[in-house]
Amino acid sequence: EVQLLESGGGLVQPGGSLRLSCAASGFTFSSFAMSWVRQAPGKGLEWVSGISGSGGSTYYADSVKGRFTISRDNSKNTLHLHMNNLRAEDTAVYYCASNWNFQHWGQGTLVTVSS
């Protein structure tokens, strides 16, 4: 059974940094691209960033380009999202999702950016 478990969310001040993690199990992690998708309170879904299975290719939404960095550790079956210079509008539940068509989702981790 595929499982994705996010962690690392919390309250951070504007301009601060946070690192999210997603622990994967139940599939050959290194064979699949992974993405982060977020959902602001009461709003819809927004793709944030994606990474190829090898980690050699990364992609970002314009809204986070230059501030967020996606990475993965295939030896530990873990996906990361490093978030810098956080803004109030980054407040959201962040989900990790498998492959480019989001077949599987985690339960999400809440990031709140507020002073």
- Site residues for another protein per CB under 8 A: 35, 37, 44-47, 50, 95, 100-108
Reduced to 3 states (helix: H, G, I; strand: E, B; else coil), residue 114 is coil
* CB of residue 98 to another protein, shortest distance in Å: 10
* CB of residue 91 to another protein, shortest distance in Å: 18
Report the chain's C-alpha Rg in angstroms.
13
Reduced to 3 states (helix: H, G, I; strand: E, B; else coil), residue 47 is strand
Using an 8 Å Cβ cutoff, are 110 and 93 in contact? yes
Q: Cβ closer to another protein: 44 or 66? A: 44
* CB of residue 43 to another protein, shortest distance in Å: 9
